Amino acid sequence: MAMKIERAGERNTIDRRVARTRGLLQDALIALIPERGYAAITVDDICQRANVGRSTFYTHYADKDALRSATIEAHLRS
């Protein structure tokens, strides 16, 4: 069962497309961690799962650690 993070607060402050893309990336990370473990996950793995390109990933996050931090923050807000 996949965990979904509530992002209602984000939708009020950022473009819906940005919120959607970030949500896809965060959900991909959450789905991959139990399968492979955080250390084994690559940015390519995340992009494939989220169905976005690497350049899109790097438009939103500096690296997978930044994605992890944003995902944890979003989870704590929800």
User: Within 10 Å of residue 76's Cβ, how many Cβ atoms?
Assistant: 8
In the chain, the largest separation of any two C-alpha atoms, in whole Å, equals 34
58 within 8 A of 67, measured Cβ to Cβ: no
pLDDT the model gives residue 55: 98
Total length of the chain: 78
Q: Sketch out the chain's domains with CATH numbers.
A: 15-77 (1.10.10.60)
CB atoms closer than 10 angstroms to residue 54:
11
Q: At what angle do helices 43-50 and 64-77 cross, to 10 degrees?
A: 50
pLDDT on residue 11: 46
Looking at residue 42, its pLDDT comes to: 98
User: For the segment 8-62, what is each residue's pLDDT rounded down to a tens digit?
Assistant: 454 457 799 999 999 999 999 999 999 999 999 999 999 999 999 999 999 999 9
User: What pLDDT is recorded for position 5?
Assistant: 57
